[in-house]
């Protein structure tokens, strides 16, 4: 009896045919790959771009019979995807993709930030899948992206460490703002055009955004410290409108509230930022007001804004 799956039972020509089929299918895979690459690099249609990226994200180029010695990693396709997505929204100039000379690997720079930050994606190896967008020198993962699950999550800890602490003395606030805006725009396109679930976290400028702080039951001393610091800087921390927290009116009608969001049961202290145009986020406050930045960093153990605990732990 001939079993096609068992080479020992096949005739010589049968074996050759099988071998040939395997090579054909391996080449077919290669061709599909080149088509997807074409699509990823050249298409002017955002839908096709997302489709190509989603397929390439977990594409297996090698098969048993056909392997390709020169390959980019899956992480690199994300980088291409990101810059193409920006390009399709006329923001292609805001990022620079660089390939390494001696091996196939891509890195990216945010144009305003230049060589003070070099970024690439790192594939998450656990079952969750997805990738982290990392600054290579510091290892800070600024956001998580999962094309299959249409998920995008910013990481408050990394954004703070990189932009509010590490680059604070060397990079002007406006430059940081412009750099971060590129990431926000990228996330916004995914949310608005493809219905991604996006957590903008500290970058969220919407007035209704509640930034939850790490110590859900915030020690009173933390707010007291802001009260004293504000007074030294000619601002007044007042009682909150709802009577269970505090409020500080900054410039141009920007108001920061810090209060317990739960009137009963387990406390849940949060920060909010209100402004007329809904353009100011907590991150902006940290960039613009040195005394708020000092207060936040000095009390970071209690105040750090919570990121998605399922992704960043």
* Residue (32 or 238) nearer to another protein, CB: 238
Yes or no: say if 103 and 113 are a contact pair by the CB < 8 Å rule: no
* Residue (221 or 309) nearer to another protein, CB: 221
d(CA 129, CA 112): 30
**Contact code string over 177-216 relative to another protein, x by CB under 8 A:** ----------------------------------------
Is residue 98 involved in binding another protein (CB under 8 A)?
no
SS3 label, residue 188: helix
Residues 6+ positions from 277 with CB-CB distance below 8 Å: none
Min. distance of Cβ 294 from another protein in angstroms? 14
Is residue 233 involved in binding another protein (CB under 8 A)?
no
**Exactly one of 224, 262, 279, 310 binds another protein (CB under 8 A); which one?**
224
Min. distance of Cβ 226 from another protein in angstroms? 8
**Strands 119-123 and 255-260, how do they pair?**
unpaired
The pair of three-digit structure tokens given for residue 152, joined into one six-digit string: 């995008």
Q: How many CB atoms lie within 10 A of CB 14?
A: 13
Is residue 237 involved in binding another protein (CB under 8 A)?
yes
Residues 6+ positions from 95 with CB-CB distance below 8 Å: 82, 83, 86, 108, 109, 110, 111, 182
* Residue (27 or 236) nearer to another protein, CB: 236
**Exactly one of 69, 195, 221, 265 binds another protein (CB under 8 A); which one?**
221
The pair of three-digit structure tokens given for residue 302, joined into one six-digit string: 């209690």
Min. distance of Cβ 274 from another protein in angstroms? 18
* Residue (142 or 222) nearer to another protein, CB: 222
- Cα separations in angstroms, 75 against 50, 100, 122: 15, 14, 6
Binding interface with another protein (CB under 8 A) = 221, 223-228, 231, 236-239, 246
């Amino acid at each position: 009896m001939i079993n096609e799956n068992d080479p020992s039972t096949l005739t010589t020509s049968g074996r050759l045919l099988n071998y040939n089929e395997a090579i054909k299918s391996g080449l077919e895979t290669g061709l599909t790959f080149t088509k997807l690459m074409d699509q990823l690099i050249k298409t002017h249609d955002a839908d096709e771009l997302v489709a190509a990226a989603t397929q390439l994200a977990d594409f297996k180029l090698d098969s048993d019979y056909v392997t390709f010695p020169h390959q980019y990693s899956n992480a690199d396709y994300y980088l291409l995807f990101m810059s193409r997505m920006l390009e399709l929204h006329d923001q292609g100039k805001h990022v620079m993709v660089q390939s390494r000379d001696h091996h196939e690997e891509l890195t990216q720079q945010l144009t305003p930030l230049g060589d003070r930050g070099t970024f690439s994606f790192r594939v998450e190896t656990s079952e969750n899948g997805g990738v982290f967008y990392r600054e290579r020198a510091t290892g800070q993962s600024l956001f998580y992206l999962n094309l299959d699950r249409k998920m995008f999550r910013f990481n408050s800890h990394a954004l703070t460490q990189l932009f509010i602490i590490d680059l604070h003395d060397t990079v002007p606030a406006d430059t940081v703002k412009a750099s971060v805006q590129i990431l926000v725009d990228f996330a916004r396109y995914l949310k608005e055009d493809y219905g991604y679930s996006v957590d903008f976290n500290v970058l969220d400028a919407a007035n209704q955004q509640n930034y939850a702080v790490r110590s859900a039951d915030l020690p009173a001393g933390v707010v007291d410290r802001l009260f004293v610091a504000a007074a030294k800087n000619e601002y007044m921390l007042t009682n909150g409108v709802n009577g269970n927290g505090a409020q500080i009116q900054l410039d141009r009608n920007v108001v920061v509230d810090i209060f317990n969001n739960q009137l009963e049961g387990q406390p849940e202290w949060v920060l909010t930022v209100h402004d007329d145009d809904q353009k100011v986020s907590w991150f902006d406050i940290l960039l613009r007001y040195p005394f708020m930045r000092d207060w936040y960093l000095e009390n970071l153990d209690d105040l750090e804004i919570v990121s998605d605990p399922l992704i960043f732990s």
